[in-house]
Chain A
Amino acid sequence: GAVVSQHPSWVICKSGTSVKIECRSLDFQATTMFWYRQFPKQSLMLMATSNEGSKATYEQGVEKDKFLINHASLTLSTLTVTSAHPEDSSFYICSASSSDPKETQYFGPGTRLLVL
């Protein structure tokens, strides 16, 4: 149980384009989903927390207009990197937890983004 999928696993795009990453909880309802970014040899950095049906809460320093998050259903959240630039190249990971905020976060396999 507690499987989270992400799509795509790899994406290469040109600078200035937008990229959408999907995060799905396959066998449970995820009231809360989290989006992280991880640069090489660094720890996870929380970008935003999204609750189903409401606006995402962004961490300080994360641009809301650049990283658009939608959590339209209990099993799907999307992260759109708008007008991507080379410095946005990173490993993007989502995680999901069920209704209890104390519940363990289960991670998706991650999406590696390379912006040329």
Chain B
Amino acid sequence: NAGVMQNPRHLVRRRGQEARLRCSPMKGHSHVYWYRQLPEEGLKFMVYLQKENIIDESGMPKERFSAEFPKEGPSILRIQQVVRGDSAAYFCASSPIGTDESSSYNSPLHFGNGTRLTVT
């Protein structure tokens, strides 16, 4: 039973280029969460998606960042015109039910091993 798969594991981009990070959730999971971890810091929530819907993007920077989770295929986190400050580890998690679907949420999120983005 494959876990959450993220690719690429490492991504190097020059300033101004675009970065595309992919996340395939665990089988049977239709809820995806993206987190960012800057060096020496904790994980910060970015966005929560269900298939074809963005449920909560309160942690997403207002510009240059977007996320999607199409009906078919992986979830994509897209960063346009990257800057050095975007260098970080980006983690994806999935769950079989959404954290917004119950006031008593009883299902752990399962995380991938992340994509490490380096902007030069």
A is bound by B: no
B residues neighboring A (CB under 8 Å): none
A residues neighboring B (CB under 8 Å): none
